[in-house]
Amino acid sequence: MNNETPVSQPLYGLLHTDVEGFDVLAEMALDMRSSWNHATDRVWRQLDPDLWELTKNPWVVLQTVSREKLEGVLADPVFRKKTEDLVQSRRDASQAPAWFQQTYPHSSLTCVAYFSMEFMLGEALPIYSGGLGNVAGDQLKAASDLGVPVIGVGLLYQQGYFRQLIDRDGAQQALYPFNDPGQLPITPLRRPDGEWLRIQLDLPGHAIWLRAWQVQVGRVKLYLLDSNDAANYPPYRGITSELYGGAPHQRLMQEVILGVGGWRLLAALGIEPEVCHLNEGHAALAVLERARSFMQQTGQPFDVALAATRAGNLFTTHTAVAAGFDRFAPGLIEHCLGGYASNQLGITLQDLLALGRRNPDDPAEDFNMAYLAIRGSGAVNGVSHLHGKVSRHLFAPLFPRWPVDEVPVAHVTNGVHMPTWDSAAADDLWTRACGKDRWLGTTEAHEQHIRALSDASLWQFRQAGSRAVVEYVRDRLSRELAASGEAPEAADAAKQLFDPGVLTLGFARRFATYKRPNLLLHDPERLLRLLTDPERPVQLIMAGKAHPQDREGQALIQQWMHFIRRPEVRSRVIFLSDYDMHLAEHLVQGVDVWLNTPRRPWEASGTSGMKVLVNGGINLSELDGWWAEAYTPDVGWALGDGQEHGDDPARDVAEANALYDLLEREVIPEFYTRDEQGIPAAWVNRMRESMARLTPRFSTNRTVREYTEQHYLPAAAAYTERAAGKGVIGVELVEWRRALDQKWAAIRFGDVKVEPEGEQHAFEVQVYLDDLDPKAVRVELYADGTDGGVPERVEMLRVGQPANGKSRYTYRAGVPTARPATDYTARLIPYHDGVAAPLEAAHILWQR
């Protein structure tokens, strides 16, 4: 940043800023790197061990510690030297060339702006609800590790997502504690004169003022906006009060602030990203504001600006059902964005609505944010191999007459940030096997190193994890029971529950009906027999929230609570309330088997099961999301037949019984079958293969490298090319598309001839292009893929020029006789250098 650019300054409040050495501690406390690099933990533990264990928030510890304590530790030369060394190490790490700089030293990619409604970085910053935030936070951390030039853009919520309390009747209660900005590891962005940086949005009616904040995430920055500014009209102050809460108007305004306000914040900071990564459709309005900014810089109209800028936009969808996309009524779009469209984009309301509709001419159709994101992006991806396929079906209506396999949705399978989720014991084990910097570069060698670990060392490591999770859940449950008003005897008894030597299953996720969290409860008596077998007992840890408006999900929680409170069950199953990142960390580090039971294909990816991999846990999951591509019989267990059955109750019954069978016949016997050293050899072999093969593959290290190489670098190059010369290529593309729109209806196929020619079928087709430039289209032969393979596409070459000014062109191509000629059909599609069809031009004409 230059001297005129806003800077981040700490919001110290009443802190002891005059104490020598305080600034060093503040620098460490305000870096979220401490959420995965635990070198600084001992500093905060030394200042206040109880508060540190309770909050894991260095900034709160630093603010709460007494002046006397602070001066005392900082007067200790050993402590001072330790903190100064830690800060210097942090600074050195942030400046050192990382994987990206070493691999692409001359890259023109300088900035990727990653927009997301939520980010899960650590419990110190509770601005997330679950999986989407998990993906966003873990990818920011991996970008920091790898040196990929990413910045995050999100919202700061005054209450965040709700906190869960289970009452004495087993019902979920929702609480909304206030996020005091002064106690969060964030800093306000201020102008050089000390004035707080504020972004103004002139929509709708009253001006909306947005405050800007910065979060340090290693070498990456996350910028957050909130509307709780005293200058705002009172209802607007609450727009960013609650994550995923409120009426549709509030949700839409949150997305306006994220997309429009977020891009304006980057402009105010002097940041000009080549790439804009939209993490789900909530951020889609950023494509409009990016286009508006380009219009302002170049003087081009909106359609040219969108054509130029979309090449640098990437849309990642996480939704597996059509009902999951954000939709808003046309009247609401008009109220919130009508003036923005006409006054700032220079387009009509109908033009705007068309960008978010399947049928632009249907005045009743809602505005779909995912459709806007697709029409404003140069690439689209799902978050697992299966989800890519599902998404192609979901978005097929936008690409009529195109084969579903060619609907332009690729996939990059999610991963998790392994340094965040590994236990201290796992970190030690992996460090010995693969080195301290194992997640900072490529990971191909990790598999052979983990395979070299002995059975004894792996089983000892696994037993340590079991002891740790049992100790944790005993303490947490005891505190929860006391807080909920249970008798002191019940809270004390909880401290004796569970046995580290017993097989421990974990099930923790959002309680939604499609996730089938009650599948294990289909036959309560059979489950009880599994849990209480005197020779081979099982214990189960449950956790999860249901959305406050999801009554069915809440009923599933209550069903579990009623089962757990049966006297014969209490010692074998526990439900831990308020499932959050802190609880998730402990569970994935200690459970033996992670259960996941969604209805296929409604789990787009799922990341919870990935977190147990680094810790030696084993997955038993439906063949959905990531597990559909990860599973082999030697790394875990699979539920289901790999097919889709909708929400058929009979299928639920069949899979519940299959789950009981798997546990009874395979999982439990394998865990308890020990050799002469007391080691379950088959179990350890499965654990080793899971760790070795799956951990590197499903880490964000791999995910972020794939995004960088498959999307960020190409998108940056494409945007740079289109933006050159004030968008001259954008002008060309608009004219090309306009010609296609005007003349496509007149195009037709003429005669088609097929003749044998050696070992080929020789095709010759006549095409009438009216007066459309033949360079604007491509003629090809198409055949469906065989045995599940990719479709076959063979370009046909234009032969000569039409005579006497006619528009009839002849195209020829040959295909092998290995397939019948009747397998092939001629088709005509749009073509322009550097343009992705059908994403940017969905016309298609088939030979009849």
| Range with the poorest average pLDDT among 401-410, 502-511, 797-806 | 797-806
Residue 508: beta bridge partners?
543
Sign of CA dihedral 633, 636, 640, 642: negative
| 496 shares a domain with 644 | yes
C-alpha 746 chain-centroid distance = 44
Of 235-239, 368-372, 608-612, the range with the lowest mean pLDDT is: 235-239
392-443 pLDDT, tens digit per residue, is 999 999 999 999 999 999 999 999 999 999 999 999 999 999 999 999 999 9
Is 691 exposed, middle or buried (CB count within 10 Å of its CB: 0-12, 13-18, 19+)?
buried
Residue 124 burial by Cβ neighbours in a 10 Å radius (0-12, 13-18, 19+): buried
pLDDT at position 819 is 93
Nearest 5°: phi and psi at 158?
A: -70, -30
The average pLDDT across 301-308 equals: 98
**pLDDT-wise least confident of 42-56, 608-622, 693-707, 815-829:** 42-56
CA-nearest of 337, 359, 360, 332 to 349 is 337
Q: Is the pLDDT of residue 720 over 80?
A: yes
Using the predicted structure, report yes or no on whether residue 78 has a pLDDT greater than 70. yes
Residue 804: pLDDT band (50, 70, 90) is low
Q: Are residues 160 and 55 in the same domain?
A: no
CB 116 within 8 A of CB 50: no
Please state, in angstroms and rounded to a whole number, the distance separating the CA atoms of residues 112 and 23: 30
Which of 44-58, 266-280, 480-494 has the highest average model confidence (pLDDT)? 266-280
Question: 445 pLDDT exceeds 70?
Answer: yes
pLDDT beyond 80 at 60: yes
Q: Residue 139 and residue 828: Cα distance in Å, rounded?
A: 40
Q: Would 440 be classed as within a structural domain?
A: no
Q: Is the domain of 182 the same as that of 224?
A: yes
Res. 9 pLDDT band, cuts 50 70 90: low
Statement: residue 13 has pLDDT above 60: no
pLDDT average, residue stretch 567-595? 94
Total number of domains constituting the chain: 4
Q: What is the mean pLDDT of the chain?
A: 93
Predicted model pTM: 0.95
**For 84-179, where are the E strands, in sequence order?**
112-116, 150-155, 163-166, 172-175
Does residue 382 carry a pLDDT above 80?
yes
Q: Say whether both 114 and 77 belong to one domain.
A: no
Distance CA 382, CA 390 (A): 9
* Residue where a domain terminates, one of 662, 696, 730: 696
Q: What is the pLDDT at residue 223?
A: 98
Helix (H, G, I), strand (E, B) or coil at 477: helix
Query: Are 386 and 458 part of one and the same domain?
Result: no
Domain boundary among 64, 95, 126: 95
Domain boundary among 95, 115, 130: 95
Does one domain contain both 83 and 123? no
Instruction: Please indicate, yes or no, if residue 592 is contained in any of the structural domains.
Output: yes
As to burial, measured by CB atoms within 10 angstroms (0-12 exposed, 13-18 middle, 19+ buried), residue 755 is exposed
Domain span at residue 769 reads 747-846
Reported confidence tier of residue 14, pLDDT bands at 50, 70, 90:
very low
Report pLDDT for 10: 57
Determine the Cα–Cα distance for residues 213 and 189; give it in Å rounded to an integer: 5
Query: pLDDT band for position 490 (50/70/90)?
Result: confident
pLDDT of the residue at 574: 95
**Statement: residue 805 has pLDDT above 90:** no
Whether residue 1 is predicted with pLDDT greater than 50 in this model: the reply is no
Which position has the higher pLDDT, 691 or 787? 691
Identify the pLDDT of residue 446: 96
650 lies in some domain = yes
Same structural domain, 21 and 149: no
Picking from 684, 691, 633, the residue whose alpha carbon sits closest to that of residue 662 is: 633
User: What's the confidence (pLDDT) of residue 740?
Assistant: 96
Euclidean distance between CA atoms 159 and 175, whole angstroms: 9
Using DSSP, state whether 172 is helix, strand or coil.
strand
Which CATH number is 783's domain given? 2.60.40
pLDDT tens for 140-172 read 999 999 999 999 999 999 988 888 989 888 899
Give the list of residues 6+ apart from residue 364 with CB closer than 8 angstroms, or none.
Answer: 330
Residues in the chain: 848
Average pLDDT over residues 705-729: 97
Residue 803 has pLDDT above 80, yes or no: no
6-36 burial code (b ≥16 CB/10 A, e <16): bebebbeeebbeeeebbebbbbbbbbbbbbb
Residue spans of beta strands (DSSP E) within 156-203: 163-166, 172-175, 187-190, 198-201
143 inside domain: yes
Phi, psi for residue 351 in degrees, rounded to 5: -60, -40
Per the domain annotation, does 788 fall within a domain?
yes
Q: Are residues 142 and 90 in the same domain?
A: no
Pair 137, 275 in one domain: yes
CATH assignment of the domain containing 615: 3.40.50.2000
Using the predicted structure, report yes or no on whether residue 3 has a pLDDT greater than 60.
no
For residue 412, report the phi and psi dihedrals to the nearest 5 degrees.
Answer: -130, 110
Q: Which tokens belong to 677? A: 């050293």
Phi/psi of residue 576, nearest 5 degrees: -100, 125
* 809 domain-assigned: yes
- How wide is the angle at C-alpha 841 spanned by C-alphas 835 and 842, nearest 5°? 135
Share of the chain above pLDDT 90, in %: 81
Phi, psi angles (nearest 5°) of residue 318? -115, 5
pLDDT in tens, 451-484: 999 999 999 999 999 999 999 999 999 988 888 7
One domain for residues 478 and 626: yes
* Mean pLDDT for the stretch of residues 228-245: 91
Give a yes or no: residue 558 inside a domain: yes
Task: Convert the pLDDT of each residue in 309-359 to its tens digit.
Answer: 999 999 999 999 998 999 999 999 999 999 999 999 999 999 999 999 999
**Predicted pLDDT of residue 2:** 43
**DSSP label of 572:** T
Q: Give the pLDDT score at 485.
A: 79
Tokens 């980010």 found at: 119
Q: In this predicted structure, what is the pLDDT of residue 46?
A: 92
pLDDT (0 to 100) of residue 306? 98
What is the share, in percent, of the chain residues with pLDDT greater than 70?
A: 97
**E-only strand ranges, 52-149:** 112-116
pLDDT of residue 94: 86
Q: Find tokens 């001297």 and name the residue.
A: 3
Same domain, 139 and 82: no
Q: Does 499 share its domain with 358? A: no
Is there a domain that residue 233 lies in? yes
Note whether 109 and 274 are within 8 A (CB): yes
Closest CA to 375 of 292, 310, 329, 328: 310
